[in-house]
Chain A
Amino acid sequence: MFPLVPNLISDELNLIVALVIGIAFGFILEQAGFSSSRKLAGVFYGYDFTVLRVFFTAGVTAMSGVIILGYLGWLDIDFVYINPTFLQAAILGGVIMGFGFIIGGYCPGTSIAGMAIGKIDAMFFVGGGLIGVFAYAELYPWFEGITNASALGNIRIFNSIGISQGLFALIMIAVAVGAFIMTTMIEKKVDPNGPAKSFNQLHHRIAGISILVLGIVLVFLPDYKERLLSEVSDVDYIKANPVKEMTVDELAFRIIDKDPRLTIIDVRTSEEFSRMLLPGSINIETKQIFQKEFSEILGQRHKKKVFVANDEIEARKAALIAHRLGYENITVLCGDITNFVNTVIYLKPETEKQICKYQVMFIGTAPQNLKRVDARQAKDTERFRSKASITLTTMIKEAKDSAVKPTKLVKKVAGGC
């Protein structure tokens, strides 16, 4: 799964990649005419909308690619750098850069491309940029407050306005196509003799319509993770894909035994987890199962991973996701964590719930190991539980006291301009 950095490409190789990508970037910028400040400024005066066309086409292309690769599960967006949002700073910086654009006629990337072919004004712009960053750095104590105000994290626009990613993409594409048509008309009006083209030809219409069709398709392409999450949330899917189960007694025994071949994956929220946790368990919320940081834990093939939750169906969802992601040796706890505690610690009589109700419900049989053969076994179970209760109570208390808050360290790629 992409991206290749940070796991598959070393830092050194990544710099070579940077150079190659930069060459392509610079070549295209120059070929597009972005080395010319007069051409760039044209976008604000209606005589040349090249900037808008190139910019929007590039944005739409990359955005569509990201969505399609995300749908296919090839690109893990959690590992892609999403520029963090600092509201005031984003606006203030944008306004300052807007003035910079109209006064200077370049932006940093284009000025470097312009400098490369000898544009003297571009060189002055780059020089100004150096002074600007230096000035900012020296005045940083004054700017620090506003720069870091309203840290909203790595939020994404479609979430901010509350629509789906695909729908936002469609709107973006529609706006882009509309802008292409309108700006061409404006260009013609501003300079009737100019090289402005019109969109009367058949292939222009076909292109426009195809792009809009692409946009409509994007609406129906949810991210791979969302798709997987919604698939495993379907009861029919859970029914059709039974997962191996573990009884409360087996789990209790293995915990007391400190079984090294067992990993308890607790998919509850971290708050619930910190209130009460099973000894040796690891807190991975359902949506975090996708994260690569947990792949080492989940990928240990010789260990049995037992999923526990507040609700058996949630545990099954998580287990099925893990299964779909290719992890092996996946098991769920019969019943939920409350039942485990009630049965093994408080020695309450078994409720119907903990005998793997979904198995009973869907397959029609209780798991083999739950069928009591005789009264002696029931007696044994009772004896085991009363012993286990004492040991486990201490162990759970110790586990809570010694619980280290799991540090959510996602190895993210650095980014930023």
Chain B
Amino acid sequence: MKTTYMNPYLAGFLLGLTLLATIVITGRGLGASGAIKSAVVATVNTIAPSHAHESTFYSENLKSLHDNPLKAWLVFEVLGVIIGGFLSGVVSDRLNFVTEHGPRITNTMRLGLALIGGLLFGMGSQFARGCTSGAALSGMAVLSTGGIITMMAIFGTGYAVAYFFRKLWI
């Protein structure tokens, strides 16, 4: 398994060009958590349609996604991310079922923490209307005030509490 990664500045430049192309072609930025939202809305709408139509959250989202939450831009983009990530894994020989964790925690603990972290990210992204990609990165590209505030809040909080969670990583 290779561990050499692309030069970060080159990767950043290419990522920036991808984001710029996205803005120029589609008028919107990149995203990720929006696809997760679509998946949730679609699932709830399939399993409990009456509940979905009674709830403000689901009905608003269903409306903005034209009652077809899976036929959304971000869903297709995220499908692309899976394909692109997989291709990169093939090219760089990094395909492997593994769990990465810090030296002081167990595999099971790491999986539990990943679940909790994901849960927090899922909730947080709904408040902030976007995650690191949609709010922070895309927000920075178009200099959105809200996006940049969210970016500072994410990384600021990360640094502020990093000390208390150091055993998870180092």
Contacts and interface: CB of A to CB of B under 8 A. Distances in A.
Interface of A: 2-6, 9, 14-33, 35-39, 41-45, 47, 50, 53-63, 65-66, 69, 74-75, 77, 79-87, 89-122, 124-138, 140-141, 143-144, 146-147, 152, 154-160, 165, 168-169, 172, 180, 207, 412-417
Interface in B1-24: 5-6, 8-9, 11-24
A120 B97 contact: yes
A112 B32 contact: yes
B8 A57 contact: yes
B27 A5 contact: yes
Nearest to B12: A57
Given A58-B12, A414-B64, A103 B80 contact: no
Nearest to A61: B16
Chain A binding surface, main DSSP class: helix
A169 B118 CA distance: 32
B108 to A, nearest CB: 10
Nearest to B65: A414
A115 B161 CA distance: 26
Contacts of B162: 44-45, 102
Interface string B142-160: 1111111111111111111
16 contacts: A24-B14, A28-B84, A31-B5, A31-B11, A32-B8, A38-B102, A50-B8, A62-B23, A85-B146, A105-B117, A107-B131, A112-B78, A112-B81, A155-B146, A156-B143, A168-B143
A43 B95 CA distance: 24
B38 to A, nearest CB: 9
Given A4-B25, A60-B16, A133-B33, A104 B77 contact: no
A101 B75 CA distance: 22
Q: For chain B, give the interface size range.
A: 35 or more
B97 A414 contact: no
A105 B112 CA distance: 12
A101 B133 CA distance: 13
Contacts of B71: 15
Contact of B16 (A65, A95, A154): A65
Given A107-B131, A120-B99, A45 B170 contact: yes
Contacts of A99: 117, 120, 124, 157, 161
B19 A119 contact: no
A81 B5 contact: no
Nearest to B40: A133
A89 B147 CA distance: 11
B82 A89 contact: no
Given A125-B118, A128-B120, 16 more contacts: A3-B25, A21-B26, A22-B84, A25-B84, A26-B81, A26-B82, A30-B92, A30-B94, A57-B9, A57-B16, A61-B13, A93-B150, A102-B165, A117-B85, A127-B118, A140-B56
B63 to A, nearest CB: 12
Interface of B: 5-6, 8-9, 11-34, 36-37, 39-41, 44, 55-58, 64, 71, 73-89, 92, 94-102, 110-162, 165-166, 168-170
Nearest to B133: A109
Nearest to B111: A124
Contacts of B29: 81, 83, 415
B19 A84 contact: no
A94 B99 contact: no
A33 B5 contact: yes
Contacts of B123: 96, 132-133, 135-136
Given A61-B13, A100-B124, A85 B82 contact: no
Among A14, A32, A128, max chain B CB count under 10 A is at A128
Given A25-B30, A47-B170, A101 B89 contact: no
B118 A111 contact: yes
Contacts of A147: 126-127
B26 A5 contact: yes
Nearest to A169: B143
Given A94-B150, A101-B158, A131-B122, A38 B100 contact: yes
Given A32-B11, A124-B115, A416 B80 contact: no
B146 A86 contact: yes
B74 A417 contact: yes
A60 B135 CA distance: 15
Given A62-B23, A112-B78, A131 B118 contact: yes
A46 B97 CA distance: 27
B132 A109 contact: yes
B12 A53 contact: yes
B24 to A, nearest CB: 5
A53 B8 contact: yes
A55 B152 CA distance: 13
Given A18-B80, A109-B32, A416-B134, A128 B117 contact: yes
A86 B144 CA distance: 11
Contacts of B142: 63, 66, 77, 80-83, 156
